Amino acid sequence: MTAQALDAPAGRRARRRRPIRFSTKKLVCAVLAYIVALIFLVPYAEMVVAAARPKDQLTDPTILPSHFDWSNFKTLWSTGLGRNLQVSLEVAGGATLLVLLVALPAAYYTARQQFRGRTAFLLLVLVTQMFQPTAMLVGIYKEFSSFGLTDSVFGLILVNAGFNMAFATWILNAYFSSIPVELEEAAMVDGTGRLGALLRITLPLAWPGVVTALIFTFISAWNELVIALILTTTPSKQPLTVALDSYIGGYQIDWGHLFAASAIATIPVIVLFAAIERKVVGGLTAGSIK
């Protein structure tokens, strides 16, 4: 009995250490996934390589230059790009925060309350998404000029938040509607109020929708060019997209600084995805556990 008792844990460990079997289907899927990832990464790698090319080798038909010159990344900040990067972060971050502050209660109320005109309100929100900023440039400039909001970061925040509010409201409304209201009712029976049920139960379950709205709004505001080009004139108050456009002149293009600035412009978005990606999966079950 003693020998069998001692051999039992060893037998369990042996059963746990089963060899990992790779099927042909999984191998093919993994190879295809790496190929697709490589296809998407090649343009970014080429952008960094082009930024590090010496000026006399910009037009050479070679994959890599004879040597790398990182001076474009060093002299880039003397052109005022640091301030433009700060403006872009302020505009994208401010627009995202404003959209979430307005879209979250609006989407939650329309998902939980049946009121007269609810369908018309949602359709009106959807219709506003069909308008493009370029189609209303004259009206936007005249309105913001009359309020003294031209050439200001706050004006850019309002514009970007306004044009992303409809999508955020719709996507959040869909997520809130898919969450059973019984979960909130059970939480309120246990003594939690309506706000507590929203924060502790519904919001964690709707976290993938919140992340989707956050990422969409941030990227849209980060990449916006036309409105910023019209509303801003002072170089120190222009976002990064307008600063990138300034490297393209009428007779020549500063390829080195253009590629270097473009490579730097991708860093905040990559950091945002890396910070939020794990929370998407975690939000699927966090609310039900609480």
> Rounded to an integer, what distance in angstroms lies between the CA atom of residue 44 and that of residue 275?
20
Report the pLDDT value the prediction gives residue 284, as an integer from 0 to 100: 47
Q: What is the pTM of this model?
A: 0.79
| Cα Rg of the chain, angstroms | 26
Digitized pLDDT (tens) for each residue of the chain, 290 residues in all: 444 544 545 555 545 555 556 578 888 888 899 999 899 888 888 888 888 888 777 777 777 888 788 888 888 888 788 899 999 999 999 999 999 999 998 888 888 887 787 778 778 877 777 777 777 888 888 888 888 888 889 999 999 998 888 888 888 888 888 888 888 788 787 777 777 878 788 888 888 888 888 888 999 999 988 889 888 888 888 899 898 888 887 778 888 888 888 888 888 888 888 887 776 555 444 444 44
The arrangement of secondary structure in 79-289, i.e. its CATH architecture, is: Orthogonal Bundle (1.10)
Predicted local distance difference test score (pLDDT) of residue 16? 57
- Region(s) of the chain under CATH 1.10.3720.10: 79-289
